[in-house]
Amino acid sequence: MFAVIKSSGKQYKVALGSILKLEKIGKEKNSAVLFKEVLMVKNQSSYEVGSPFLKNVEVIGKVLENKKDKKIIIFKKRRRHNSRRKNGHRQSISVIKIEEIKISGKSFKNEKNATSNLNKNLDNSTNKESIKEVKPAASEQNKNTIKTKSETKVKDKSKEQVSEKN
């Protein structure tokens, strides 16, 4: 399940449990944020698209922190005029975790963590099995090495030298 929300003129695709970096919202740390401007929602069975927004859908998140983003450098140069200008700034951002999506009053809470943990366990078990399968194949390949032309020539020369000595 995911939704597409609009915040400060930009659109974001969000899922339950996802973490976003948005432009500063102006809420305190650990406070709830309600996004009513939802453009689209995808359930397990269907898609709902608004024109422009869906009326019966809300996305609820939690502010994890308010901080400044990394520095952005603006450098302008006019060649052959000895003209250069360098500016920079750090944008204020809010880090938000999506906790709940409400559709027509029905609440979908952070069920993603439970399914993602199951998927990780399945992935880990399949990766271990595939690694075990690869190791024997590699050892069999080492036993049946193919001699190159240069190796056979060197061995033939050494046999000739041994036969000349006898």
Inside any domain, residue 106: yes
User: Could you tell me if residue 132 is inside a domain?
Assistant: yes
Residue 31 identity (one-letter amino acid): S
- The amino acid at residue 84 is R
Contact 15, 1 (CB under 8 A): yes
Answer yes or no: do 40 and 105 share one domain: yes
Distance between CA atoms of 22 and 11, rounded to whole angstroms?
Answer: 10
Q: pLDDT digit string (tens) for 49-104?
A: 988 899 999 999 999 999 999 999 999 999 999 999 999 999 999 999 999 999 88
Domain count, the chain: 2
pLDDT score, position 129: 44
Same domain, 116 and 55: no
Measured CA to CA in angstroms, residue 116 lies from 15, 41, 94, 97, 145 at distances of 12, 20, 25, 16, 43
Residues 26 and 13 in one domain: yes
Structural domain span for residue 31? 2-69+90-110
Residue 71, strand partner residues: 90
